[in-house]
Structure 1
Amino acid sequence: MDSQTIVAPMTPAGVSAVAAIRVSGSKVREVVRLLFGESAFKNLKPREAKLATARDYRTMVGDDRKTAQVIDSLLYIFFEGPNSYTGEDVLELYPHGNPIIVRELIQVIKSVEGVRLAEPGEYTRRAFLNGRMDLVQAESVADVIHSANRDELRNAHRLLGGALSKKVKTLTEQVMDISARLELDVDFSEEEADPDYATWGVKISAIRESVESILKSFKGKAAVSRLPLAVLYGAPNAGKSSLVNALLGEDRILVSNIPGTTRDFVEVRLFLDGGEIRLVDTAGIADKATDALDALSMEKSKEILAEADMKILVVDGSLDERRETRDESCASCHPENGVEKENVIARNVSDEAIHPDFVVISKSDLLDERRETRDESCASCHPEQSEGSSESCLHISSKTGEGLADLKRAMNATLFKKTENSEDLWITSEREKTCLEEALAGIDRALNLIRTNPAVELLAFEMQLVRRSLQSITGEISSEDVLQQIFAGFCIGK
């Protein structure tokens, strides 16, 4: 392993209240001496937060340290190896988040002989090489950082906590036990009776079942990390753009009373309880296009609707004739019989191929006073009673905020459905998947040998291959090329 000390920012570039810089290696104490002086160097204690003024002592005049240029007043913490993230001496600095300060601190730290800028993923790589974590846990660090929803984040934390590593370690020990017994049979094959292959078959089959179970849990990162897509659509001027702005809590999209203001679909990111989603505001879909550009806009809207995980029809409630003439007993509004929803869809969707998953009645603040005297028991008129059921029509006001919380709950329930086995973990690494496939292939070859040609030597050889495949998952066996491929995808500072 490289013996040089490394330094890098742990926070993204840009202005912030606080930034973070990490230094790891044998020169950490020299860095403390250079930045904070001899007293700080002599009184350095592990895991103790210190407030100090960092100076560039290269600029001092003579022996007068007060003449050295001030870089920043900051907090720093020293972690003594091996009880640190990397297993080496580590210094973490927390200056103000001014890029000039961060850059100057790094330049001064790099002036210490034997200190260089860290490469992507080098801190985690050193943590792996120093035995602070195995390869599964090291890979999961990136998953924790880049998880797009709560389920994915929980799974990444399970992996980082060693849940998969424990399973693989147990399987490896079982394989090693079988291998040891097989090799013992090879050594004493001429002195003892034939081995009990039926017993070996049962044990190896049990291992196969466990390996296959882990392998079936694989979910590609592209699929897992894909943000769910919710699309708002409806007639021109139905209030879609206003609804997007209301959901975001800011004026992100241009809003106008003129129909057709939105000509192309606009995509934003919205955070729900379950995670982040893509929310798309589309151009209005009318019965007939007013011109060629309008026709193209509607075609684009239909294309994005075809990709949607949730299609939300937005209907202008102030123009909805059905609501103007509805039964005062509110019988037509009951969502359990689907009457109102289906009638609203029929009146507002000309293309039968575009069936909404959810219907929103917008501009509820403009509706007539009959809403104030409606039947209080009507669930569809009171979205708080329906708990965001996708079978009802929600009444929304982008101006007053009415119904927004219920809409968010409904979107969250549809886009982040709870799985039955929420405690189970899954793997996302193609490398781990390949190792498991190799182990499974070796097990199948061993089982086939037991059925057709039970030669102990061949059986022992195949189980050795299975063991190596399992050990490759956690990094007990790894090559430089594999490590380079894994950590090259990490960000600098991690």
Structure 2
Amino acid sequence: MTQATIFAISSGAPPAAIAVIRISGPKAGAALNELCGREFEPRRASLSKLIDENGALLDEALVLWFPGPHTATGEDLAELHCHGGRAVIAAIERALSAIDGLKGAEPGEFTRRAFANGRIDLAEAEGLADLLSAETELQRAAAVASASGTLSLKFESWRSEVLRLSAQVEAALDFSDEDDVSELPEGFTWNIERLEEEISSWLNRPRSEKLGEGFRVVLAGPPNSGKSTLFNALVESEAAITSPIAGTTRDVIERSVAIKGVPFSFVDTAGLRDSAAEDIEAMGIDRAKGELAKADLVLWLGDEGQGLVGAWEIAPRRDAGDYVAKSEPVAVLSARTGEGIADLKSRLLDAARDALPKPGEAALNSRQHSRLAEVAEALSAAKTLTDLLLIGEELRRGRLAFDRLIGRATTEDMLDALFGRFCIGK
């Protein structure tokens, strides 16, 4: 069965000065002939009138023709750079729909065809999805590294090494009756250990999801300790209600912000105390305790030494008459006057940069991390074995994990979930 030719607007939502309508599939060339009445020179922009089936002029557009397979999707591909008004786009899409064998694209269908036709692998597709959803500079840089093939090259090099090690095992098994080749090559186990160590170092890196979630900072302390005032100062908005009345904050308040391109999630919580004034406040305290467990960092505004292990001691309300100094605070500040806020933000930036993937550094997502952990587990087992058949089986298990990692072996459900993240036209 011949695959349908798809089309969709691939530029921003109209209206706009220019809209790009992309056509991909076996009838992309025929669609151009029907719209324009002529053929086009490959990979050269040409100005042409677009005509519908009744001979009515739709628009005058810049037309580009890319015969496959060396295209973004691996298929015949065409682009119409037309005027970006809603009526113009709608008229062209109606004309394309009237052509036999053409249909509107589903979300992510262009990229899925690129994957199916070997133009990109799974890691590059995931990087592209992250790039489209990037909201901070760190997210963009990490996504570009993945989408450009940095991770794919690393995965392929590791897979090639596992294949080489497997071939050595197979050779030893094939010629095990001959004395001079009955053993594995010198350094075989060392090579497995070296590969396992390199993969383990990647597994210990921060994952890419942290760039989307942000470095999670939870403000904690007793009621009326200045948490909400500090929270507002950090997110630079009046997100939380402040009051001298204890217990004003009853629920978790969360805001995501970027500071110098670094993503943060700041969380304001209910004041912690042993006995709550009412059931609603008690629920807020329970939720606050839950947030402490999820935090990357806790800012403790209560009595010194009473916070969680590893929490930063903050001496707040420096301008208040009842200010209580701390012996070794990370920050002394007044959120009302701004004293100490800039220094605290600087320290938070340093902590977040240590915990998040480095700028421009490719980072594993959860799926990639799981598959790579399977490889590391297989290598760890292989280096402890002496039976050649068992060693070969563990290396085969590692190869299969790499195939699932790269996309040579995967499930339709997983692909549906991935490409469903893309917009129509991508």
CA distance in 2, matches of 1:106, 1:220: 37
Structure-2 change in CA distance of 1:44 and 1:104 (3 Å):
same
**Unaligned stretches of 5+ residues in structure 1:** 61-67, 254-261, 286-291, 314-339, 365-379, 391-406
CA distance in 2, matches of 1:181, 1:235: 66
Write the mapping of 1:254-403 to structure 2, written as runs, cut at 5 A. Answer: 272-275=259-262, 343-344=318-319, 359=333, 388-390=342-344
Q: Deviations over 1:441-482 (max 9, x none)?
A: 3223322322xxx2x233223222222222332223445454
- Look up the SS of the partner of 2:53 in the other structure: helix
1:468 paired residue number: 400
CA distance in 2, matches of 1:305, 1:439: 34
Q: CA deviation at 1:162?
A: 1.8
2:39 paired residue number: 42
2:363 paired residue number: 426
CA distance in 2, matches of 1:218, 1:229: 14
Q: CA deviation at 1:135?
A: 1.6
**Unaligned stretches of 5+ residues in structure 2:** 240-248, 272-277, 302-314
- Which residue type is aligned with residue 120 of structure 1? P
Q: Does structure 1 residue 155 correspond to structure 2 residue 92? A: no
Structure-2 change in CA distance of 1:205 and 1:98 (3 Å):
same
Instruction: Say whether the 8 Å CA contact 1:6–1:23 is kept in structure 2.
Output: yes
Tell me how large the CA RMSD over aligned residues is: 4.9
Structure-2 change in CA distance of 1:94 and 1:267 (3 Å):
farther
1:226 paired residue number: 213
CA distance in 2, matches of 1:358, 1:22: 57
CA distance in 2, matches of 1:171, 1:85: 26
Q: Does structure 1 residue 212 correspond to structure 2 residue 148? A: no
2:73 paired residue number: 86
Instruction: Say whether the 8 Å CA contact 1:269–1:277 is kept in structure 2.
Output: yes
Q: Deviations over 1:147-182 (max 9, x none)?
A: 232223212211122222222222222221121121
- Look up the SS of the partner of 1:212 in the other structure: helix
Q: CA deviation at 1:141?
A: 0.8
Q: Deviations over 1:112-159 (max 9, x none)?
A: 111112222221121122222222112211011112322232122111
CA distance in 2, matches of 1:239, 1:466: 52
- Which residue type is aligned with residue 389 of structure 1? D
Structure-2 change in CA distance of 1:83 and 1:482 (3 Å):
same
- Look up the SS of the partner of 2:343 in the other structure: coil
- Which residue type is aligned with residue 224 of structure 1? L
Q: Percent identity?
A: 26
- Which residue type is aligned with residue 198 of structure 2? S
Q: CA deviation at 1:389?
A: 2.3
- Which residue type is aligned with residue 39 of structure 2? K
Larger Rg: 1
Q: Tell me the TM-score normalized by structure 1.
A: 0.63
2:3 paired residue number: 3
Instruction: Say whether the 8 Å CA contact 1:218–1:428 is kept in structure 2.
Output: no
CA distance in 2, matches of 1:125, 1:186: 41
Structure-2 change in CA distance of 1:17 and 1:264 (3 Å):
farther
Q: Does structure 1 residue 59 correspond to structure 2 residue 54? A: yes
- Look up the SS of the partner of 1:120 in the other structure: coil
Q: Does structure 1 residue 489 correspond to structure 2 residue 421? A: yes
1:316 paired residue number: none
- Look up the SS of the partner of 1:137 in the other structure: helix
CA distance in 1, matches of 2:96, 2:155: 41
Equivalent pairs counted in the alignment come to 398
Q: CA deviation at 1:52?
A: 4.3
| Higher deviation after alignment, 411-420 or 441-450 | 411-420
Structure-2 change in CA distance of 1:217 and 1:281 (3 Å):
closer
- Look up the SS of the partner of 2:213 in the other structure: coil
CA distance in 1, matches of 2:234, 2:214: 17
Q: Tell me the TM-score normalized by structure 2.
A: 0.71
Write the mapping of 1:172-211 to structure 2, written as runs, cut at 5 A. Answer: 172-193=159-180, 195-196=182-183, 199-211=187-199
CA distance in 2, matches of 1:436, 1:241: 39
Q: Deviations over 1:272-311 (max 9, x none)?
A: 430566689999x9xxxxxx9xx99x99xx9999799798
